[in-house]
A and B are shown apart, each in its own frame.
Chain A
Amino acid sequence: MTTRTLFIGMDGATFTVLDDLTAGAEPVMPFLAKIFREGTRAKLRSTPNPLTPPAWVSLMTGRSPGHHGVFDFIRTEERGDDVFFTLYDSRDCRVETIWSIASRQGMRVAALNFPFTAPPPPDLNGFMVPGFVPWRHLRRNCVPKGLYDQLKAIPDFNPKELAWDFEQEKQALDELSDEDRENWVRYHLPREMQWFRIADYLLREEAPELMAVMFDGVDKLQHQAWLYIDPRQQNGERSEYHQRMRALCMDYFRQLDGFIERLVTAAGPDVQVFMASDHGFTATWEIVRINAYLHEKGYLHWLDAPKTDATKRREDSMFAYLDWEKTVAYCGTPSSNGITIRVAREPGQSGVRPEDYEALRQRLIADLREFRDPNSGERIVTEIHLREDVFPGAAMQDAPDLLLVLRDFGFVSIKNKTPAVEARPCIAGTHHPDGVFLAYGPGIARGSILDRRNIVDVGATLLHSVGLPVPSDFEGRVPEELFTAAHRAAHPVEIGPPTRQQRADENAEAISDDEKDKIMAQLQMLGYVE
């Protein structure tokens, strides 16, 4: 068996940074510079809400969120007069992934560290080590059975370094100190090394036809250390701490470049290499407390609970603990950047009557358009999308009613604090809709820059590269111009039968307060919570 296609994911990678790190006579990322010179690149437009869960699932399925059904880390679910929060997992994805599509056509695959691949599919032909899984549960979520014991035989394999450490991340509920931020960056160096070692091992020992690994440290570093990574922030006098953080971040990217080079080299000269990110990155400079604004406008009512430790903890974590009977519109999670309108499903239930829904939605849009910077008068929310426009598909009912884009692309805060908008003490990293797409190797056009592609195109491209037809119901298309004319002639893109229907689970487990806190800690660490 021979590897045909190597895919390297880099969560949150952006050309703003990568162009800087590949420039000059002695670039931080010399191998990536070679890929830029000798391969093809394009900006990659993310999902309407450029967020890890919907974006990676779109990349892996060739379908947009309205079809695959994963919109956020956490789903808000209305049950009568209460609202529950449930965790998304792979069972919530309503469509087939490229891992399953390739498997059932006889291809062996390896998919490492991709989010929302746990629990793994039972029909996988190959290897899967899911991302976003605590170390204690890696064994059970690895396939095939016995893979975990194989991994344990890899020298220096350490599942605690490899997996997400919720306990460490829980410590970040308070604002990060300089020392904690530095430790956070250091934490990702050995972590990526662990993923590299597994990828290197499987590539060499098993050589699956489709080999894929995702490095997510790029995103995490950029959230916490954007000030030290963004080339536009490196001018003028810089403190000793700033210089030390910059050097540490550069060590991370230098190490990542080495991993990419070693994986591409191990794959061999006959393998097509593709790289992509789920979204790009940029700077956010202000905090937008969207639920505070909705409260000001009368749509949302805070829960008036006694001041106990538990309620304080809830208010601090701000998991949209609201007076649900009085609230008609709210934002459930900071990462959603969406507003949900509560509709009374039966007479007597709280929420707007179905016949009043559209009028309320229009009033809400008008109010959001008037959410302005008190100093400049500039609109805070620059785009307001209706869900039927950005999330069409069978899963649309699970999407927020409105999707917001803020003027600095930041994520909203849902805390009960005023003012509704204020400047951050210092800039932070946030997601930009444009990520990266790179191709390199035999049959790939050299030094070419394509027009911006869409994230759903990546799955189609990987299937085509490995020699399979693209399912007819994929929204993604193969960007044929990234291949040479000779390669296109020898390997025309084939459109094949549609994907197979996946069972949608509609009863995901409600999660405990403790679990919510852990997730909120993670989201805060990633910069989704102020």
Chain B
Amino acid sequence: MQAPRQTVEQSVIAIVEDLTQDWGLETDHIDGSTLLVDQLDFASVDIIQLCVALEQFYGRKLGFPELLLVDGRYVNDLSIAQIAAFVESRIELDGRAGR
């Protein structure tokens, strides 16, 4: 399945908007540059929940530890675009592996 970056990014934005709709955030616009922790007040538990939501949406495990862990340490923040790029790469990888 082809998953153009823009489509994946739009899906990630839609899921994040759905996830955060009751949080009372002051941010009224989410795009690729939006940072989860800095701008959307994500805590680690929220990132885990987002990972689960994305995996449910795509119907597969996406191996998020590879995105969250860099050199053995958890990243401090992630942008929507970074997540979309990672998801896209995983989908492409799965596609090549015939999954």
Contact = CB atoms under 8 A, between A and B. Distances in A.
Interface of A: 87, 89, 119, 134, 136-137, 139-140, 159, 166, 505, 507, 509-515, 518
A134 B61 CA distance: 22
Interface residues of B, number: 24
B44 interface: yes
Contacts of B18: 139-140
A336 to B, nearest CB: 21
B46 A511 contact: no
Contact of B68 (A119, A136, A139, A512): A512
A507 B63 contact: yes
Contact of B52 (A89, A166, A507, A518): A89
Contacts of B64: 509
A7 B56 CA distance: 29
Given A89-B52, A510-B69, A515 B22 contact: no
Nearest to A516: B44
B21 A512 contact: no
A505 B51 CA distance: 14
Contact of B48 (A507, A511, A513): A511
Nearest to B75: A512
A317 to B, nearest CB: 14
Interface string B41-67: 001111111011100100001011100
18 contacts: A89-B52, A119-B56, A134-B46, A134-B49, A136-B20, A136-B22, A136-B23, A137-B45, A137-B46, A139-B19, A139-B21, A140-B49, A507-B61, A507-B63, A511-B48, A514-B43, A518-B44, A518-B45
Given A512-B68, A514-B43, A505 B22 contact: no
A119 B45 contact: no
Interface of B: 18-23, 43-49, 51-53, 56, 61, 63-65, 68-69, 74
A515 B23 CA distance: 19
Nearest to A514: B44
**A505, A509, A514, most chain B CB atoms within 10 A:** A509
Contact of B44 (A159, A507, A515): A515
A134 B68 CA distance: 21
Given A505-B61, A510-B69, A140 B19 contact: yes
B44 to A, nearest CB: 4
For A134, A137, A505, A515, the residue with the greatest tally of chain B CB atoms inside 10 Å of its CB is A137
B53 A140 contact: yes
List 8 A-B pairs, minimum CB-CB distance, nearest first: A514-B44, A515-B44, A512-B44, A510-B65, A137-B49, A512-B74, A507-B61, A509-B64
Contacts of A512: 44, 47, 68, 74
Contacts of B20: 136
B43 to A, nearest CB: 7
Nearest to B64: A509
Identify the interface centre among B18, B46, B48, B74: most chain A CB within 10 Å of its CB: B48
Contacts of A513: 74
Chain B binding surface, main DSSP class: helix
Given A137-B49, A139-B22, A140-B19, A509 B65 contact: yes
A511 B19 contact: no
A137 B48 CA distance: 11
A151 to B, nearest CB: 11
A475 B69 CA distance: 41
A510 B65 CA distance: 6
Given A136-B22, A510-B69, 11 more contacts: A134-B45, A136-B20, A139-B19, A166-B43, A166-B45, A505-B61, A507-B63, A512-B44, A514-B44, A515-B44, A518-B45
Nearest to A506: B61
Nearest to B21: A139
A507 B60 CA distance: 11
A137 B65 contact: no
B24 to A, nearest CB: 10
Residue among A87, A159, A510, A512 with most chain B CB within 10 A: A512
Nearest to A167: B43
A515 B61 contact: no
A514 B21 CA distance: 24
Contacts of A134: 45-46, 49
A511 B64 CA distance: 10
A511 B44 contact: yes
A515 B48 contact: yes
Contacts of A137: 19, 45-46, 49
Contacts of B68: 509-510, 512
